[in-house]
Amino acid sequence: MKDKKIIIAIDGFSSTGKSTFAKKIASMLNYLYIDTGAIYRAVTLDCLQEDIIKSVSPFAIDMDRLVERLSCIRIDFTIEQETGKSITVLNGKNVENRIRSMEVSEAVSQVSGISEVRSFVDSILKKFGEKKGIVMDGRDIGTTVFPDAELKIFMTANTETRAARRLSELRSKGDTTTTLEEVTENIRKRDEMDQNRKISPLRKAEDAIVLDNSEMTIEDQMKWIKSILK
Ligand code: DC
């Protein structure tokens, strides 16, 4: 296992703890961790900032400007010195907190359903995959981006657990106003959109192993993955 670097694809529903799990696996194996949802979120944030997306009702996307804008978007990841946390960088700026806001969460499923956006993100992801030794989490990594990934995991958990997790993430980032009901509704809407969009819908790859972590701690999940990696 130590010698042969592989691609680990982790897909699943939103707020199932994919990123926490993926980061831990990456650090255990000394692999690179890529949060693909963060890339879709950064594209969405950029379009909101540029007024390409109007988030106040009626919600609207200027498609021509969005497609044109993609060539101006640069997304990177860096590690924060003090905390060791992975930070998403959009055109040179740390946007890690802003991409997790409710405004971005409300718009990202629509943006990630656009074929030009998916091709743009896929080209970034494929570059990361060239050297192997990566853990990538998202919705279509095992099905579309890396269908030949050596290990595929599909994560799920019940809605209550997922909503509680997302709310606590928002609180830790300083959001004191969003309610549990709003988060639950957002999760429900995103499940619906992620599973039903035309391009690369969220679905389990045939050869993916399912992990339902509703009742599992992160330690339980690490034991589980160690037994699989063996
Ligand atoms: O994992 P997340 O909640 O941060 O993802 C944000 C959105 O991006 C989610 O609603 C679906 C989309 N996404 C996607 O379509 N494909 C991926 N590989 C990753 C995320």
Judge if the beta carbon of residue 142 lies within 6 A of ligand 1: no
Please answer whether residues 28 and 222 qualify as being in contact, where contact means their C-beta atoms are separated by less than 8 angstroms. Answer: yes
Determine which residue's CA is closest to atom 15 belonging to ligand 1.
112
Beta bridge partners of residue 135, listed in sequence order? 8, 33
For the chain of 230 residues, list the mean pLDDT of each consecutive stretch of 10. 84 94 95 94 98 88 97 93 89 96 91 95 93 94 96 97 93 93 94 91 96 96 95
CA separation for the pair 228, 113 (Å, rounded): 33
Q: How many CB atoms lie within 10 A of CB 176?
A: 6
pTM: 0.89
- CA of 3 from ligand 1 middle (Å) equals 31
- CA of 151 from ligand 1 middle (Å) equals 20
- CA of 40 from ligand 1 middle (Å) equals 6
Instruction: Note the pLDDT of residue 186.
Output: 92
Judge if the beta carbon of residue 108 lies within 6 A of ligand 1: yes
Instruction: Note the pLDDT of residue 84.
Output: 79
- CA of 37 from ligand 1 middle (Å) equals 4
Determine which residue's CA is closest to atom 10 belonging to ligand 1.
109
- CA of 223 from ligand 1 middle (Å) equals 26
φ, ψ for residue 134, nearest 5 deg: -130, 150
Which of ligand 1's atoms lies nearest the C-alpha of 190? 10
> Which residue of 11, 13, 14 sits with most ligand 1 atoms within 8 Å of its CB, as the best mutation to test the pocket?
14
- CA of 228 from ligand 1 middle (Å) equals 25
Q: In what order do the strands lie in the sheet with 86-90?
A: 75-79, 86-90, 93-94
Instruction: Note the pLDDT of residue 4.
Output: 86
H helix or E strand, kind and range, residue 103: helix 102-111
Judge if the beta carbon of residue 109 lies within 6 A of ligand 1: yes
Instruction: Note the pLDDT of residue 2.
Output: 54
Q: In what order do the strands lie in the sheet with 151-156?
A: 32-35, 134-138, 7-12, 151-156, 209-212
